Amino acid sequence: MNGNAQKALDILLEGNKNFVNGRSTAIHRTVDDLKSLQNGQSPIACVVTCSDSRVIPELIFDKGFGDIFVVRCAGAVIGENILESVEYAVEHLNVPLVMVLSHDDCGVMKAAKALYPKEPDHLELLIRSVYEIIDSETECYNELARDYTLVKKRKLLKRSKILRQAYHDGKFEIVRAYLKFDTGEVVIIED
């Protein structure tokens, strides 16, 4: 991992340690902090994650205004809007790190696991996307959520020429991570 990406990851994980240990600093959360950013932002990382109300990147990483460029949708399924949002973070905000973060008890993974292999009659796009990696051997939707981060990482690079180029030029790195609800810990998933 390049130096800038590693530094960003260290800052996020350090913040997560504060959160887990009940020692959040709640940094950068005042009106003055926001005021100081009125003309621009330079977040340290982009976090691509689920819309789940229990997954709040700024809280779990002990960060505030201007720190993290968050891209969210249910299940964090990679579609066009998500791709372009990540492109913006990499190309225009120059984030050195993109984290693909999944989590315990994800509703989209749960629904896909329950329905598979039936035709989804709701959440169609989201569930079909998860079906790409599910099979009858898949035992647990939390495991599915962890595995699915690899699909997301690959899709970011496969579907976006801009991201692919920037990745190959060493402009940014992608890490996969998982939020555990019982401890609040963010665990890095090794490739």
Residues 111 and 40: their CA atoms lie apart, in Å, by 39
In terms of Cα–Cα distance, which of 148, 12, 176, 140 is closest to 78? 148
Shortest distance (Å) from residue 33 CB to Zn ion: 28
Q: Which is nearer to Zn ion, 45 or 50 (CB)?
A: 50
Binding string, residues 73-112; x marks residues near Zn ion by CB under 5 A: ---------------------------------x------
Q: Which is nearer to Zn ion, 25 or 51 (CB)?
A: 51
Decide whether 52 or 173 has the Cβ nearer to Zn ion: 52
Token pair 């989201």 is found at 126
Report the chain's terminal Cα–Cα distance, integer Å.
12
Is the CB of 126 or the CB of 174 nearer to Zn ion? Answer: 126
Closest listed residue to residue 73, CA positions, set 46, 58, 102, 51: 51
# chain residues binding Zn ion, by CB under 5 A: 3
Report how far residue 156's alpha carbon sits from residue 82's, in angstroms, rounded to the nearest whole number.
Answer: 9
From candidates 9, 12, 50, 134, binder to Zn ion by CB under 5 A: 50
Within a 13 Å sphere around the CA of 78, how many CA atoms are in the beta-carbon half?
23
Binding flag, residue 67, Zn ion (CB under 5 A): no
Which residues of the shown chain bind Zn ion in the complex (CB under 5 A)?
50, 52, 106
